[in-house]
Each structure stands twice: as C-alpha cells, then as structure tokens.
Homo-oligomer: A and B are copies of this chain.
Amino acid sequence: MNEEITISLKDAESLSLKVLQHNGYSQVHAEAITRNVLAAQRDECHSHGLYRLIGCVNTARNGGVDTHAMPEVIDQAPGVVRVNAHQGCSLLSFEMGKKPLIEKANQTGIAALAINNSFHFSALWPEVEALSSEGLIGIAMTPSHAFVAPAGGTKPLLGTNPIAFSWPRPGGTPYTFDFATSVVARGEIELHKRAGKTIPSNWAMDDKGNATTDPAAALAGAMLTFGGYKGSALSTMIELLAGPLIGDVLGHETQAANEQKTGKPFHGELIIAISPAVFMGEQATHHLQHAEVLFDNILGQGARLPSQRRFEAREHSLRYGVTLPKALYDELKALTH
C-alpha cells in the first residue's frame, strides 16, 4: 500500500502553516519554515519537503528550538552581517539577514551572512537560489551533528556538512548544487535499514572502524566523506567556516533534540554572496552570457546539470500541485488539531 494524494500548492501551504502554528511556532517562524518546505516539496525533494514538519514539531516538543525566538540582526562590518537566531529556526534568520547581505554584496562585491545559534533542518539550495534570483552568486554551508569520520580516522567527528552554490543564468533557471560532504545523506542509510537492505561498503564504518554493509552498524559507527581525503578536507573547511570563524560551535558539540530534552542542536551557518556586476561592471552581462558556453558544452556531451530534475519537477508542481504519501498527509493533518 503506497497510496498517494495530490494537493494544490495553496493547500500544502495552508496545511504547513496549520501544523506549525498548532504546535507552537509563531506566525513569522511558521511562514518562513513553510516557504522553505513548500519549495522543497514543489521541487520533489521529498526528504526536505512537508515530511520535515514532523521533525519541526518533535524538535519543538523536545526543547530543541525556541518557536518564538526573534532573530537579532547585527551590522558587523562593511562585508559582514550577523544574525543571532537565539535558538530559533535558521530560516527566519536567513530571511531577515538576506536584505542587508544583498545590499553589502552590491556595495563591496563580496559579503557574508553569519547565522548563529540556530536550529537548522533545511536544504540549502532555497537560500543560494534566493541570492541567484537577485543576480548574485550564492554559496552556503552549515555543519550538522557529528556523524562522519575524517579520512584516515574511525570515529564520528565531522557533520554531514553540506555546501550549496547557485549561479545566476540569464533568462533561465540557475546553476545550483547542494550536497552533503558525506558519501550519502544519513537518511539514505536509515531508509536502507528500514527496508532491510544492505548498503555499499564505501558508505560507512562500524563502531570498530571496519567497513560495513549493515546499515544498523553504520548508524552506530561512522559515515565516510565523499571523495576520500579531499571530501574530508572540504568537510573540515565547512566546519571551520560555519563554526569558529563565525563564533559558533563544532558539529560534535551539537546533538539532535531528544525526549530527555538533553539535546543541543543549535549551530551556525555561513552564506556568501558575490556580485558579478561589481566584479565586472558593465561587462558582467557579457561574461554571464559567456558562462553559458560551459553549460552548453556539459549538456552537449550528454551530461546533466545538477538540479535539472528539480527544475523539471518544479514546472510540474506549479501546474498540477504536489503529491505525497497519504500516510504522511494523514500524519500532518493529525498534527493540526
């Protein structure tokens, strides 16, 4: 039984707002979270779509997020804006920091937004695409809880530490990628466990540091970084830039919220915005157009651009609404009353 239900984006939005508000989120937080999960659902990124509302509700119940926290915006320097999320969800902080970030990037050419002390559960591409839709290049990174061993090690230390990038394309969808620096997302291993399947031996180690194909042993052990020591170095860079650089914690100092209310999920996020118009002046349009040669050549040899599938799904959802498992829909409905 994999019954599905299709609802309009409008109904999905209304459902999300009701779930969040009924479970304690303030209006502004509910709206910011809804914009994010709705964008993911629209693009058929199911693991970051409406499904995440269940996590938002549980995290609130377990004291892992302040549902009414008001972000504090700090104008740190000509190229730096900081937002203290005060243990609220990161998404409202991003929305409030976005305007000064864009203003600074348009002034200086390159600027950074540092979000501190936030509960973070979302995909990063909506944030870098919020910048590319303004003609800027966006780069975003954030640590996560310590699930991943550094290359050459055997113990979880690094987060799955995703990085996202978006490049504005004249007259088209942006060039965007958003990926974890672990071989796969942790959810993939959880899904294999649930389905009783083995995992490839290059995904993780057991708690003795041996390669394993058993998802349960992998979850109790340590995940691996993608691309060996190079992925491990990138992951470390992300942990440093979205941690100590911005005065925030390291991944292993955080934990998911839990029923004992001992989890401290709060951490940082770094977003960099770059203005081609400032770098290149009047020639920016010409050079952005020139970048299309690269994309044409990638597509011309039969390769795909990252996010292509997502943009196709977006087209479809905007016309026909979004489809989700009936069981998930019912679960979300039950959270509204």
A residues contacting B by CB (< 8 A) are 76-80, 82, 107-112, 114, 137, 149-155, 157, 165, 167, 175, 177, 179, 181, 226-234, 236-237, 239-241, 243-247, 250, 252, 272, 274, 276, 278-280, 283, 287-288, 290-291, 293-294, 297-298, 301-304, 306
Contacts and interface: CB of A to CB of B under 8 A. Distances in A.
Most buried by B among A152, A239, A240: A240
A137 B107 contact: no
Contact of A247 (B78, B181, B243, B287): B287
A76 B236 CA distance: 32
Contacts of A227: 226-228, 230-231
A108 to B, nearest CB: 3
Contact of A152 (B234, B244, B245, B302): B302
Contacts of A149: 301, 303
19 contacts: A77-B108, A78-B79, A79-B79, A80-B109, A108-B108, A137-B245, A151-B303, A154-B301, A179-B230, A179-B233, A240-B291, A244-B290, A244-B291, A245-B274, A245-B279, A245-B280, A246-B280, A247-B279, A250-B291
A236 B108 contact: no
B153 A301 contact: yes
A304 to B, nearest CB: 6
B137 A297 contact: no
Given A79-B109, A245-B276, 15 more contacts: A79-B79, A79-B108, A109-B111, A109-B112, A110-B272, A112-B279, A150-B301, A175-B240, A226-B231, A232-B303, A234-B234, A236-B294, A236-B298, A244-B290, A252-B297
Contacts of A77: 107-109, 278-279
A244 B291 CA distance: 6
Contact of A302 (B76, B79, B154, B167): B154
A197 to B, nearest CB: 21
Q: Within the oligomer, what is the number of copies of this chain?
A: 2
A278 B78 CA distance: 10
Nearest to A77: B109
Given A167-B240, A301-B157, A78 B108 contact: yes
Contacts of A230: 177, 179, 181, 226-227, 231
Contacts of A237: 165, 167, 177
A230 B239 CA distance: 18
B114 A279 contact: yes
A76 B278 CA distance: 8
Contacts of A301: 149-150, 153-155, 157
Nearest to A301: B153
